[in-house]
Amino acid sequence: MRTASCVAGVLGLVCSVQVAAAPPAPAPAQALQCERLFDSRSGQLLDARTVVVREGKVAEVLPGKVQVPGATAIDLSGRTCSPGWTDLHVHMASQSSPQSYSEGFRLDDVDFAFRAVGYAEKTLMAGFTSVRDLGGEVAPHLRDAINQGLVRGPRIFAAGKSIATTGGHADPTNGYNSELSHLVGPPGPTEGVVNSIDEARQAVRQRYKEGSDVIKITATGGVLSYAKSGDAPQFTVEEVRAIVDTARDYGYKVAAHAHGEEGMRRAVEGGVTSIEHGTYMSEELMALMKRKGTWYVPTIYAGRFVADKAKVDGYFPEIVRPKAARIGAQIQDTAAKAYKAGVKIAFGTDMGVGPHGDNAREFVYMHEAGIPAAYALQAATIRAAEVLGVEDQGVVEAGQRADIIAIPGDPLADINAVMNVDFVMKDGVVYKTPTQ
């Protein structure tokens, strides 16, 4: 596709023609010969199946391992095929380190964008063909670059800037000294910081203007923000409801970062789609979520990671360290209780806290919490698609996107198999094969 751009200058109108990038084209026809196929609808393993892929879509699923005339055969003997996984909570432009709190003063957005390119490819190669990026101005641009075929990575559903209150978990000026605060000025709805119902609506509309796919709010304090409280409520119910109602106008769903009980209650009462982290979720709150149909995305990985790093001198600022130790260690237990209570659980890691590409370890941690392997895999496939509100992914069936991965062995018998994905296809394009 050719596009023209023109610039007015002293010599008149100067125009240039550029050739726009395009995503990789899928092979004409492929036949994936799988030893087993994970059926995400039933949560069961099917015996040998041949998945026929044409023009980026699943054309048919045939019993047995068969040759398909006109299709290139891909032998996945000894492997379990699965719909590509979705991680519903990532931050593609960042990765925790002891330097994280100073880098924002030294680096530009373009520096974080270059890092994100590598993080995106690692995520895709780990078997995650889709992610929901919950907070970061780089993500919408990375999404577009991936869609244009400029870089390799998962399909991104981007929130853009998270919406917070003054001093809240996503206030970008937390930790600034008085001189910097004076120079920058108080952030407002354009920067994702609100303090009224009208400002809440404006912040959602700004995210629409910037091209977001989903809205993220910080309903309570957070672990890693440079602030004292990790769990205090930070919105009124009315503000949350204004965000949710305005988001609905644009077809958006709302994810709520929340650790504390009261902030979670307000978010659920306000109508959010999902609670992220949910550390101090009580039985009463679980019952409310079940009545409202609210999803829970535990992010056990992030909890365990920050709890471990809190033991390391100098890794976190002192204002952060006690929060990391206290809150991080609790999330896995909360996930176990929520599963037993029947709360709907979907898969998310908060990757960017831990190292990108290690996302599948969340399956292992979910299983340790008493969540069956099949349920955990469904959480990253068909249930994640439901949270996103999309109908063309999360299952391997005719007419669906050809997002398919393969794992040596049987992940239902040994959940650790998820760490060894060696075949990745997204939209019918093969990015990783067992021979690499």
pLDDT of 298 > 50? The answer is yes
Stated as kind and residue range, the H or E segment containing 362 is helix 361-368
For residue range 81-125, list pLDDT tens digits in order.
999 999 999 999 988 777 766 777 677 888 888 999 999 999 999
Q: In the 8-state DSSP scheme, what is residue 235? A: S
Residue 299 CA to residue 279 CA, distance in Å, equals 10
Percentage of residues in the chain with pLDDT exceeding 90?
Answer: 72
Ramachandran bin of 375, using left for φ above 0, alpha for ψ from -120 to 50, beta for the remaining angles? alpha
Q: What is the pLDDT of residues 217-273, one digit of tens each?
A: 999 986 665 555 567 888 999 999 999 999 999 999 999 999 999 999 999 999 999
Residue 31 vs residues 34, 58, 296, 406: alpha-carbon distances, Å: 9, 10, 36, 13
Phi first, then psi, for residue 305 (nearest 5°) are -65, -50
Q: Where are the beta strands (DSSP E) in 11-160?
A: 12-19, 29-39, 44-46, 49-54, 57-63, 72-83, 85-90, 128-133, 155-158
In whole numbers, what is the pLDDT of the chain averaged over residues? Answer: 90
Contact 280, 331 (CB under 8 A): no
DSSP 202: H
Strand 12-19 relative to strand 57-63: parallel, antiparallel, unpaired?
A: unpaired
Tell me what pLDDT residue 229 has. 57
Contact between 233 and 206 (Cβ < 8 Å): no
Contact between residue 418 and residue 74 where contact means Cβ atoms under 8 Å apart: no
Q: Give residue-wise pLDDT tens across range 367-394.
A: 999 999 999 999 999 999 999 999 999 9
- Convert the pLDDT of each residue in 157-211 to its tens digit: 999 999 999 766 766 655 666 766 667 667 788 888 999 999 999 999 999 999 9
> Going from the N-terminus, what domains does the chain have, and what CATH number goes with each?
29-84+406-432 (2.30.40.10), 85-359 (3.20.20.140)
**Which pLDDT value is given to residue 14?**
45
Q: How confident is the model at residue 24 (pLDDT cuts 50, 70, 90)?
A: confident
Q: What is the DSSP letter of 315?
A: T
Tokens 């990038």, residue located: 21
CB atoms within 10 A of CB 407: 23
Spatial CA neighbour of 431 closest among 32, 26, 21 = 26
pTM, full prediction: 0.90
Q: Which residues contact 58 (CB under 8 A, 6 or more apart)?
A: 51, 52, 396, 397, 398, 399, 400, 401, 402, 404
Q: What are phi and psi of 254, to 5 degrees?
A: -120, 125
Sort strands 274-277 and 254-258 into parallel, antiparallel or unpaired.
parallel
Model confidence at 316, in pLDDT bands (50, 70, 90)? Answer: confident
The backbone torsions φ and ψ at residue 88, rounded to the nearest 5 degrees and listed phi first, read -85, 0
> Is pLDDT of 423 > 50?
yes
pLDDT value at position 131?
98
Q: What pLDDT sits at residue 379?
A: 98
> For residues 328 and 305, is the Cβ–Cβ distance under 8 A?
yes
Lowest mean pLDDT of 29-43, 307-321, 378-392, name the range. Answer: 307-321
Predicted local distance difference test score (pLDDT) of residue 238: 98
The confidence score (pLDDT) of residue 184 equals: 64
Residue 152: is its pLDDT beyond 50?
yes
Structure tokens belonging to residue 369 = 């919490």
